[in-house]
């Protein structure tokens, strides 16, 4: 019991775990895959056995995606509206499509980041283990 408490209070390295999560790899071993689809999380790591089924990424990764996408697309769109002579109908097609594509690209990486953050902070069932 004491050994388990000592083990569960041992700090995990935050930044390496976040980098592994961003790369969609297991935050513990960096060898196993974190996802088995676009956003579907593996139940556990096939390499080290770390369980992922209890993660609670919930809405955090969409919020991160919106934050990043908005800060990238918004200024470029405003700059383009002021400085580029692009027809309105073209802008009505280009900006929404570019925003959607960028959001879809960022979303799985943001989810990996959030799950790795939970693992590093021992949140939501990630408390046990090394
Ligand atoms: Zn692993």
Q: Is residue 129 included in any domain, yes or no?
A: no
Residue with tokens 């775990």, as numbered in its chain: 17
Give how many domains the chain has, as a whole number: 1
- Measured between alpha carbons, how far is 120 from 14 in angstroms, rounded to an integer? 5
CA of 33 to the centre of ligand 1 (A): 7
Amino acid 130: pLDDT: 58
Q: What is the pLDDT along the chain (130 residues), one digit of tens a residue?
A: 444 444 456 788 889 999 999 999 999 999 999 999 999 999 999 999 888 988 888 899 999 999 999 999 999 999 988 998 889 899 999 999 999 999 999 999 999 999 999 999 888 778 776 5
Neighbours of ion ligand 1 (CB under 5 A): 26, 28-29, 32, 45, 47-48, 50
CA of 18 to the centre of ligand 1 (A): 14
Amino acid 39: pLDDT: 93
CA of 58 to the centre of ligand 1 (A): 21
Amino acid 67: pLDDT: 97
Amino acid 4: pLDDT: 47
Amino acid 56: pLDDT: 85
Amino acid 1: pLDDT: 43
Q: Is residue 19 included in any domain, yes or no?
A: yes
Q: Is residue 63 included in any domain, yes or no?
A: yes
Residue 79: is it exposed, middle or buried by C-beta count within 10 angstroms (0-12/13-18/19+)?
exposed
CA of 31 to the centre of ligand 1 (A): 6
User: What's the domain range around 112?
Assistant: 2-120
Q: Is residue 127 included in any domain, yes or no?
A: no
CA of 65 to the centre of ligand 1 (A): 25
Q: Is residue 128 included in any domain, yes or no?
A: no
Amino acid 24: pLDDT: 94
Q: Is residue 126 included in any domain, yes or no?
A: no
Q: Is residue 53 included in any domain, yes or no?
A: yes
CA of 23 to the centre of ligand 1 (A): 13
Q: Is residue 125 included in any domain, yes or no?
A: no
């Amino acid at each position: 019991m004491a050994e388990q408490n000592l083990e569960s209070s041992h700090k995990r390295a935050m930044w390496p775990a976040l980098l592994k999560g961003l790369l969609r790899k297991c935050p513990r071993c960096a060898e196993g895959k974190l996802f088995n689809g676009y956003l579907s999380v593996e139940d556990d790591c096939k390499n080290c056995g770390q369980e992922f089924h209890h993660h609670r990424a919930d809405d955090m990764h969409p919020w991160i995606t919106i934050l990043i996408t908005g800060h990238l697309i918004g200024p470029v769109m405003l700059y383009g509206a002021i400085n580029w002579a692009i027809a309105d109908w073209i802008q009505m097609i280009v900006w929404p499509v570019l925003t959607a594509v960028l959001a879809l690209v960022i979303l799985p990486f943001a989810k990996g980041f959030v799950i790795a953050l939970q693992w590093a902070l021992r949140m939501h069932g990630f408390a046990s283990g090394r």
